[in-house]
Amino acid sequence: MFIQTEATPNPATLKFIPGRPVLGDGTLEFRAGEETQGSPLATRLFEIDGVTGVFFGSDFISVTKGDSEWQHLKPAILGAIMEHYQSGEPVAAGAQTGVSLGEGESFAPEDAETVNTIKELLETRVRPAVAQDGGDITFQGYRDGIVFLHMRGACSGCPSSTATLRHGIENLLRHFIPEVQEVRPV
């Protein structure tokens, strides 16, 4: 098994591409070892000293580190991913306690059409680009011209995430939806 690794804009996160599906649909994020119930792979990764976050996309795994160095962590992470796929266990099964899509959205009923347009733009234009960097972005709410988004995976805590929100996503949404005045992270 050959696992590719890619740097992300977040120096604390590396993207691992196992060359086979990770999650068919959606994403899962684990921010602590206690959240990994139902995910044998996330459990394995959190057993590695220095791992502070795990994010599963459709075909990649993003791992976030604490103060440890990648030169020490990367071989252990590659080994854990290889062991997992050789075991035949599912990536995630049963009751998952990771963070998944669509939780806690808030917007006024009269803004439903605007929210649908925002979600469509995020799904078709933003999420694919963000996934290439090992992360995800989800809609959380819309109120008084302000769009609230949740940055996940490599994007969470990334030094350039503010620029991505302000200059990239905000400009895109304002171009297509004049009612949008600002984009804020949750």
At residue 84, the pLDDT reads: 94
At residue 41, the pLDDT reads: 94
Minimal CA–CA distance to 126: which of 160, 171, 84? 171
DSSP string, 62-120: EEEESSS-HHHHHHHHHHHHHHHHHHT--SS-SS--SB-TTTT-EE-GGGHHHHHHHHH
At residue 92, the pLDDT reads: 84
pLDDT tens-place values along the chain, 186 residues long: 799 999 998 999 999 999 998 987 788 999 888 888 889 999 999 999 999 999 999 899 999 999 999 999 999 999 999 999 999 888 887 544 444 444 578 888 899 999 999 999 998 988 888 888 888 888 999 999 999 988 888 777 777 777 778 788 899 999 999 999 999 888
Give the domains, in start order, of the chain with CATH numbers.
Answer: 4-87 (3.30.1370.70), 106-185 (3.30.300.130)
At residue 94, the pLDDT reads: 56
At residue 102, the pLDDT reads: 47
Could you tell me if 84 and 40 are in contact, meaning their C-beta atoms sit under 8 angstroms apart? yes
Query: Whole-model pTM?
Result: 0.80
Could you tell me if 97 and 38 are in contact, meaning their C-beta atoms sit under 8 angstroms apart? yes
At residue 103, the pLDDT reads: 55
At residue 180, the pLDDT reads: 92
